[in-house]
Structure 1
Amino acid sequence: MLFLAVNPPDEHISVEKLAERQEVSTTYLSKILTKLVKSGMIESVSGANGGYKLKSGWEELSLLDVIKAIEGLTPIFDYFFKEVPFLR
């Protein structure tokens, strides 16, 4: 998300470039990016000049939003965030 945030808003970054930059496999990163696309945080474009970029409004996202999109809320997170009001 941070790498996408520092790139020009009209530029799509390929999964290969993102994976190389983060030193992870493209397969692993593709699974994460798919979850972020489904959550509406990023968009994907197919084709030779395709890739990923942040959707508008990304400035309002929190780290918790990103964690929820990727991991979901496990019971321990669910309890913690219900019981700690300032984290809601």
Structure 2
Amino acid sequence: MKLSTRAIYGLRAMIDLGVYSEQEAVSIQSIAGRQNISVSYLEQLMAKLKRAGLVESTRGACGGYRLGRPAEEISVGDILRVLEGGLEAAQCPGTSPEENCETKDICVAKLVWKRINDSITQAVDTLMLGQLIEESRKKQEEKM
């Protein structure tokens, strides 16, 4: 499984947003500058995240973005699914009850794909944005 720049940049933007939006909303330009992401690309990512309720925006002079929910309630999996769609490393019809697979009853390779997919799901769904924000703050303090 290879994640696209949507996932990579989107996760970085969400961490940045969590770090810097504690006191006030954060502009796309400031996130883009700190994370070295193009403003237009970041606008596309934020639009997807906003539709999913992971971020909220405010217009006006003091406008910008904030997290849509507490960081402790947003998993990395939530973010990646919004930006990437599914997270399956392999899409095997034998692992889905809805799919029709001729060799479903005798195929053992599906066990490999199911185990890999389950491992990915478990990893990204138990890693919370709040944890990453804390780590980011620690790294920033170490630099000072």
Range into which the TM-score falls when normalised by the shorter chain = 0.7 to 0.9
1:27 corresponds to which residue? 40
Residues 52-61 or 63-72, more deviating:
52-61
| Of 30, 44, 58, the match for 2:57 | 44
76 and 58 in structure 1: CA distance in 2 versus 1, 3 angstrom threshold = same
| Of 9, 13, 19, the match for 1:6 | 19
Shift of residue 8, structure 1, vs aligned partner: 4.5
- 2:56/2:68 contact within 8 Å kept: yes
Q: Does 1:84 align with 2:118?
A: yes
SS of the residue aligned with 1:24? coil
Q: Gaps (5+ residues) in structure 1?
A: none
SS of the residue aligned with 1:6? helix
2 and 76 in structure 1: CA distance in 2 versus 1, 3 angstrom threshold = same
Q: TM-score, normalised by structure 1?
A: 0.80
- 2:80/2:87 contact within 8 Å kept: no
Q: Gaps (5+ residues) in structure 2?
A: 1-13, 93-112, 126-144
Number of aligned pairs?
Answer: 88
Distance in 1, Cα, partners of 2:55 & 2:44: 13
| Of 67, 83, 93, the match for 1:70 | 83
Distance in 2, Cα, partners of 1:8 & 1:69: 21
Residues 72-81 or 56-65, more deviating:
72-81
Q: RMSD of the TM alignment (CA)?
A: 2.5
| Of 26, 49, 69, the match for 1:56 | 69
- Which 4+ runs in 1 deviate beyond 6 A? none
Identity over aligned residues, as a percent?
A: 32
Q: TM-score, normalised by structure 2?
A: 0.52
9 and 77 in structure 1: CA distance in 2 versus 1, 3 angstrom threshold = farther
Residues 49-58 or 16-25, more deviating:
49-58
